[in-house]
Chain A
Amino acid sequence: MSQVMIDTGNYIAAKAAVMCKPEVVAAYPITPQTTLVEGVANYKASGEFKGEYICVESEHSAMAACIGASSTGVRTFTGTSSHGLLLMHEMLHWAALARLPVIMCNINRVVGPGWNIWADENDSISQRDTGWIQFYCSSNQEIFDTIIQSFKLGEHEKVSLPVMISYNAFILSHTSMPVYVPDQKDVDNFVKKRIPKWKLEVENPITFGNIILPHEYEKVRREMQNCQENAKKLIPEIASEWKKKFGRFHGDLLEFYKCEGAEYILLSMGAIGAESKVAIDNLQKNGFKVGLARVRTFRPFPQEEILKLAKKADLIVIDRNISIGNEGALFNEVKGSIYGKTDAKVHGFIAGLGGKDVTFGDIETMCKKAIKGKATDHQVWYGLEEV
């Protein structure tokens, strides 16, 4: 029997992580991730979390400790946000290249200066080339379900890569929602014991990570790429297995919403993705043929699925991030996915940077502008360019 828990995204994330029984959690506090690590600490104090909880002195050390622990073959979890994630950057690469399936929540928050703790996806987008699988969630239930699925995915022998579960600061991290929490035994049955790809053991001494020559190194990268491709196949499999067992489904690589017969497809991520559903309802009521494809996995990037959409419809992309000097990351990658294969137009908007609110009304305005042919080919800064 599952039960309903009403709590914030962070406490829900702590619950999900603890239910997966990681042997080691190493973490360092940062706003707005703090209540996540406090949640784990509470479970440690109550005895519900039976693993080791290492209170490290920095996020760099948090990831280093997770790497150390994971290399002994045990399950590891951590969480961070914004500057903490950036401080981890070197170790994010290390975890992925070492093929260690560390599972981490990242609460998407603005990067300073100036200091700003609100929602913005530039922190995790700037980690996109580290080799981590990246999920973006749009509700507390999705956070809960995705964390559990991520342990199964990351630790899968065909993947063996770390997984980052991102969700927006405060909009989700500090907002209470009802969440269905399954029985512990059902989680145990879903996430089996980790079987590591390699580990440090005195009975079988190996040297890991010593000097590697170019042709061998290239193979490591190729293998990582292959495993991200494997993840593309496994994410839908694991999501449908979850649906079968627990009755809930948030999409796989993407979540499609009212895309049937749509002439325009809106692509967005994270909390804007949830807000977009209301906008789509209103737009369709008013005769606009626009559907939603909410991107859940930024890595692996769902190129094939996006191309399928672009063969039937023009695309509208909202980015809560900007790769300064170019354009929004999602806009850029969506165009890359369809280049030379369709005539679909792609309209891009930058919106909600610095934690600025993006309401369904804003999303409707952006979609209408694109549909009425008033959007240019380049990306428009919503709210700054008379939109």
Chain B
Amino acid sequence: MILAIKDLPREECYIPGSAACPGCPATMALRIVFKAIGKKMIMIVPACCTAVIESLHPKTSFDIPTMNIAFEAAAAGASGVEAGLKMLGRKDITVVAWAGDGGTYDIGIQALSGALERNTDFIYICYNNQIYSNTGIQRSGATPYAAWTTTTVSGKTEFRKEMGEIIQAHHIPYAAQACVAYPEDLFRKIQKAKSIKGPKYIEIMAPCPPGWRFGMEKTVEMGTMAVETGAWALYEYENDKVTFNGKSKLILEGKIDRKPIEDWIKYQGRFRHLFIPKKDVKRIKALEDHVDQIWERYRSCYL
């Protein structure tokens, strides 16, 4: 088992020429994913930031075969690639659909659900930055309550979906939640997914500097805080059993208290209206209560 970043494979399939923003969490995750799976993979990318990150035709910043596809079509496209490879007798290739939260929670959920139900042998990875970032920061089904986006100007009035539970309802062999701030954990989960046959789902929390309005040097910190405040949980789902990992495990078992959600949101410009001109105690409490509810449910189900 890989224990430290220094032990990760040296080979880079995420090569120079990327058009990503500085501090981009998607690129951090992509490097780990490429290292964990290796060069024998085919990636399907729907409309999302990664379509830009790949760089301009005829160049590319990916040293693996990559197929771009329409926004809602990643999982269905992957089903097709998987079927094609099966007919070609290529059992050695891992098919990966790589989509954002908009392409997963919202427009792509039908195709995703279909591919999971059909038992497509692939890994679906959602890098979740809680917004439509490529189109310029609009609300998605993954956007948290009270967050500013360009389409929720005074803050979102609804709570986010719990995608992990929707995925579990498909009873697939393996699913996991990870975060870019924990690369070893992410690496291990991707490798595990690669070793299992059938549909796998991995969601990666991906704090987005321009989307969340924080400094580009704070991506990892925002990811760590998302986990420590319980706004995001690291867990694995295998054979209908859920196992929490890292700090999330300690929070679940009550060995440590989760930090107040305020500790996370106060560094993010998207929540600035909750603090300026005066503190919006009611909405901050609503966020806090929502996280409590989630963890109560986690404890009742998984402890």
For residue B18, give the distance in angstroms from its CB to the closest CB of chain A: 11
Question: CB within 8 A of B80: which of A68, A207, A212?
Answer: A68
A66 and B111 within 8 A (CB): no
With CB as the reference atom, state the residue of chain A lying closest to B85.
A72
B80 and A67 within 8 A (CB): yes
A211 and B54 within 8 A (CB): yes
Q: Which residues of chain B come closer than 8 Å to A94, judged between CB atoms?
A: 69-70, 73
B interface, over-half SS: mixed
B88 and A64 within 8 A (CB): no
Question: CB within 8 A of B70: which of A90, A208, A210, A216?
Answer: A90
Q: Is A114 interfacial (CB 8 A cutoff)?
A: no
Question: CB within 8 A of B60: which of A24, A54, A91, A206?
Answer: A206
Cα A73 to Cα B66 with chains together (Å)? 14
Cα A249 to Cα B55 with chains together (Å)? 49
Contact code string B45-82 (vs A, CB < 8 Å = 1, else 0): 00000011011111010111111111011011111111
**Which of B36-44, B143-151, B237-245, B256-264 is the contact stretch?**
B36-44
With CB as the reference atom, state the residue of chain B lying closest to A52.
B83
Cα A66 to Cα B80 with chains together (Å)? 6
Question: CB within 8 A of A67: which of B42, B51, B69?
Answer: B69
Q: Is A57 interfacial (CB 8 A cutoff)?
A: yes
Cα A62 to Cα B39 with chains together (Å)? 28
Q: Is B191 interfacial (CB 8 A cutoff)?
A: no
Q: Is A112 interfacial (CB 8 A cutoff)?
A: no
Contact code string A139-175 (vs B, CB < 8 Å = 1, else 0): 0000000000000000000000000000000000000
Q: Which residues of chain A come closer than 8 Å to B81, judged between CB atoms?
A: 68-69, 71-72, 200
Q: Is A51 interfacial (CB 8 A cutoff)?
A: yes
Q: Is A385 interfacial (CB 8 A cutoff)?
A: no
A interface, over-half SS: mixed
A26 and B80 within 8 A (CB): yes
Within 8 A of B (CB), among A58-116: 58, 60-62, 64-74, 76, 90-91, 94
Q: Which residues of chain B come closer than 8 Å to A62, judged between CB atoms?
A: 76
Q: Which residues of chain A come closer than 8 Å to B41, judged between CB atoms?
A: 202
Cα A54 to Cα B63 with chains together (Å)? 29
Q: Is A1 interfacial (CB 8 A cutoff)?
A: no
B52 and A73 within 8 A (CB): no
With CB as the reference atom, state the residue of chain B lying closest to A209.
B68
Q: Is A205 interfacial (CB 8 A cutoff)?
A: yes
B64 and A205 within 8 A (CB): yes
9 contacts between A and B (CB under 8 A): A24-B80, A52-B83, A61-B76, A61-B79, A72-B84, A73-B88, A202-B39, A208-B67, A210-B66
Interface residues of B (CB under 8 A from A): 19, 39-42, 44, 51-52, 54-58, 60, 62-70, 72-73, 75-88, 93, 110-111, 113-114, 117-118
Pairs of residues from A and B, 9 with the lowest C-beta to C-beta distance, nearest first: A68-B80, A72-B84, A57-B114, A209-B68, A61-B76, A65-B80, A207-B60, A64-B76, A64-B73
